[in-house]
Amino acid sequence: MTEPALRELLAALHARLQETDAPDSETRQLLKSALQDIEGTLGRGDAASASAVERLEQAAVGFEAEHPTLVVALRRLIDALGKAGI
């Protein structure tokens, strides 16, 4: 997946996050932090850290029961990052 496509997925996730009530503030902060790390990584052209991807996975688990559409978007991003070698 190209960087512009990854950025588009990130933007979509940010928009959904703004519309969604997180199960708790810790999960919301975890997701925001991971997305910011990945955005910064894309800007520098580095590979995303494994910890950022792991935090996305943790956030997906936190949102799974109450916000399945957000989880689908998170899983798409995680899959895209993996395919991009990040």
Q: What is the pLDDT of residue 22?
A: 57
Would you list the DSSP string of 23-47? SSHHHHHHHHHHHHHHHHHHHHTPP
Distances in whole angstroms, Cα of residue 50 to Cα of each of 31, 56, 59, 82: 14, 10, 14, 10
**pLDDT tens per residue across span 45-84:** 555 566 777 877 877 787 777 778 778 888 888 888 778 7
Place of tokens 């800007």: 43
Q: Is the pTM of this model over 0.75?
A: no
Length of the chain: 86
What does the alpha-carbon distance between residue 37 and residue 67 come to, in Å, rounded to a whole number? Answer: 23
> What are the residue ranges spanned by the domains of the chain?
3-83
Q: What is the pLDDT of residue 43?
A: 64
